[in-house]
């Protein structure tokens, strides 16, 4: 049986969005009248078709019922968690790498004093939550021991968790458990909870919110000729199956974000298609987190191999993501992105 996917598109913003919702031309994303859409793209494995919302009634009965069911999920308000407000787009997740080998800032903030100072600066610059990581998962990186990873992050977590909302970027259940005990508000596992079989039990017991990220392969191998039948739909199906699996394992809360994992087992074509059509993931009913900051696709498009000089590409892709209703952006350059968002929102508010 052919499977249909619903992707919302043709967004409106600000006052114009509110007017269109009032006239019932547009529907609000997550009940936010300041961000709404007037069209959907109906996608299968072998076809795509964009239609206006008013034309849904003309579709065959079974397809119409499927799309209307999807739309109920898409317009439903997301519950806030982890000090994040999903009615505000976007929330900013600041990046704090406490590692010697992260791809763009390895070794820069991995001392206690510099790490704490940088976390405070990110928060003052507009980050809503800080994502702290003690193990690099860049392409080609190798895993570190649990002891080494915890030693890298423990002082920072203990010193700033009461002042600044913290997310913990880890694949390991033991590190998750220790982080949760010292007040971490969110777990961000780049492996999609597949690296360590005990992670689901930790999250079930603690009821801690978490991010499910898609990645293909391990960091050591993930960029060696990644392949998909259809990257957009394959990754959508991955999230559907993963969420069903988590429910079957006793995860009862909906305090979950999903991250398509830009650059994690994807080539340039895969990344571009995911970013262009990222609004398909709203149909899953969870906030979307997107990590675009300083990623390799910017180098591939610009032709300049400088991981510290990718601010322009980060801003451009981030503003595009905002236009698709992405709720959380994971960012290195928080001050610069916050500035660009303020200008962007002022320009589109009418």
The CATH number of the domain holding residue 208 is 3.20.20.20
Catalytic residues: 295, 330
94-108: pLDDT as tens digits: 999 888 744 454 445
How distant, in Å, are the alpha carbons of 91, 109, 111, 118 from that of 114? Answer: 24, 5, 5, 6
Does 219 score more than 70 pLDDT? Answer: no
Claim to verify: residue 48 and residue 183 sit in the same structural domain:
no
The pLDDT of residue 221: 66
Residue 96: CB atoms within 10 Å? 28
Residue 211 reports pLDDT greater than 60 = yes
Nearest of 274, 272, 299 to residue 288 by alpha carbon = 274
Residue 113: pLDDT band (50, 70, 90) is confident
Last residue of a domain, one of 13, 40, 75: 75
Q: What are the contacts of 246-252 at 24+ separation with CB within 8 A?
A: 246/193, 246/200, 246/212, 249/200, 249/204, 250/204, 251/200, 251/203, 251/204
Could you say which DSSP state residue 310 is in? -
Q: Are residues 37 and 177 in the same domain?
A: no
Q: Which helix (H) or strand (E) holds 158?
A: helix 146-160
- The owner of tokens 């619903």 is 6
Give the H/E segment covering residue 336.
helix 334-348
State residue 111's pLDDT score: 63
Same domain for 71 and 121, yes or no, is no
Read off φ and ψ for residue 6, nearest 5 degrees. -110, 120
Tell me if 80 is assigned to some domain: no
pLDDT score, position 103: 47
DSSP string for 250-297: T-----EEEE--TTSS--HHHHHHHHHTGGGGGGGTS-BEEE-TT-HH
Give the domain range for residue 37: 5-75
pLDDT band at 144 (very low <50, low <70, confident <90, very high): confident
Question: What's the rounded mean pLDDT across residues 319-347?
Answer: 96
Q: Is 337 exposed, middle or buried (0-12, 13-18, 19+ CB in 10 A)?
A: buried
The pLDDT of 149-174, averaged and rounded, is: 92
CA distance 174 to 179: 9
Boundary (domain end) residue, out of 75, 109, 125 = 75
Asked if residue 82 is part of any domain, the answer here is no
Q: Is the pLDDT of residue 348 over 90?
A: no
Q: Does residue 106 lie within any of the structural domains?
A: yes
Q: Are residues 123 and 28 in the same domain?
A: no
Please check the confidence at residue 117 and state whether its pLDDT lies above 70.
yes
More confident residue, 49 or 141: 49
Same-domain status, 56 and 116: no
* The two three-digit tokens of residue 170, written as one number: 């880890």
The answer to whether residues 104 and 178 belong to one domain is: yes
186 has a pLDDT exceeding 50: yes
- Within this chain, do residues 189 and 54 fall inside the same structural domain, yes or no? no
Q: What pTM was computed for the model?
A: 0.94
pLDDT of residue 252 exceeding 80, the answer is: yes
Do 188 and 60 share a structural domain? no
Predicted pLDDT of residue 327: 98
Same domain, 190 and 112: yes
Domain assignment present for residue 81? The answer is no
The number of distinct structural domains making up the chain is 2
At 165, the pLDDT band (50, 70, 90 cuts) reads very high
In a domain, 84, yes or no: no
Domain ends where: 50, 75, 100? 75
In a domain, 85, yes or no: no
Instruction: Tell whether 170 is covered by a domain.
Output: yes
Distance CA 94, CA 134 (A): 15
Cα-to-chain-centroid distance, residue 176: 19
Claim to verify: residue 125 and residue 68 sit in the same structural domain: no
| 350 token code pair | 């009418």
Q: Could you give the 3-state DSSP secondary structure of residue 203?
A: helix
Gap between the Cα atoms of 51 and 38, Å rounded: 9
Q: In this prediction, what percent of the chain has a pLDDT beyond 90?
A: 80
As a whole number, mean pLDDT of residues 241-260 equals 95
What pLDDT score was predicted for residue 102? 46
Return mean pLDDT, the chain. Answer: 92
Q: Name the strand (E) or helix (H) holding 189.
A: strand 186-189
Residues 167 and 22 occupy one common structural domain: no
CA 214 – CA 8 distance, rounded (Å): 21
Q: How many Å apart are CA 14 and CA 1, to the nearest integer?
A: 40
For residues 176-201, average pLDDT: 95
Q: Which two tokens stand for residue 105?
A: 């800032």
| 71 and 117 co-located in one domain | no
Task: Check residue 7 and give its pLDDT.
Answer: 98
Whether 86 is in a domain gets the answer: no
The Cα–Cα gap between 78 and 341 comes to 22
Give the per-residue pLDDT at 195: 92
Q: Residue 343 — pLDDT band, cuts 50, 70, 90?
A: very high
């Amino acid at each position: 049986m052919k499977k249909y996917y619903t992707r919302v598109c043709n967004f409106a913003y600000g006052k114009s969005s509110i007017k269109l919702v009032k006239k019932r031309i547009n529907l609000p994303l997550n009940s936010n009248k300041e961000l709404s859409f007037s069209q959907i793209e109906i996608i299968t494995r072998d076809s795509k078709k964009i239609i206006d919302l008013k034309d849904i009634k003309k579709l065959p009965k079974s397809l119409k019922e499927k799309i209307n069911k999807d739309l109920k999920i898409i317009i439903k308000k997301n519950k806030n968690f982890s000090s994040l407000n999903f009615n505000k787009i976007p929330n900013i997740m600041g990046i704090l790498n406490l590692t010697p080998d992260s791809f763009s800032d390895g070794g820069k903030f991995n001392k206690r004093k510099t790490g704490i100072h940088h976390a405070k600066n990110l928060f003052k610059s507009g980050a809503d939550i800080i994502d702290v990581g003690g193990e690099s998962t860049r392409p080609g990186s190798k895993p570190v021991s649990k002891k080494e990873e915890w030693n890298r992050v423990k002082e920072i977590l203990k010193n700033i968790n009461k002042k600044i909302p913290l997310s913990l970027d880890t694949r390991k259940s033991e590190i998750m458990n220790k982080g949760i005990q010292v007040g971490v508000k969110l777990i961000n596992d780049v492996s999609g909870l597949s690296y360590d079989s005990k992670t689901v039990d930790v999250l079930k017991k603690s009821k801690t919110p978490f991010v499910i990220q898609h990645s293909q392969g391990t960091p050591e191998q993930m960029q060696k000729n990644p392949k998909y039948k259809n990257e957009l739909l394959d990754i959508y199906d991955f999230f559907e199956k993963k969420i069903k699996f988590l429910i079957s394992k006793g995860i009862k809360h909906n305090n979950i974000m999903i991250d398509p994992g830009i650059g994690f087992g994807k080539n340039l074509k895969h990344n571009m298609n995911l970013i262009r059509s990222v609004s398909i993931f709203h149909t899953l009913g969870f906030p979307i987190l997107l990590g675009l900051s300083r990623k390799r696709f910017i180098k591939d498009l610009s032709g300049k191999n400088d991981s510290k000089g990718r601010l322009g590409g980060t801003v451009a892709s981030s503003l595009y993501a905002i236009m698709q209703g992405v709720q959380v952006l994971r960012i290195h350059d928080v001050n610069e992105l916050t500035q660009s968002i303020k200008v962007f929102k002022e320009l589109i508010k009418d």
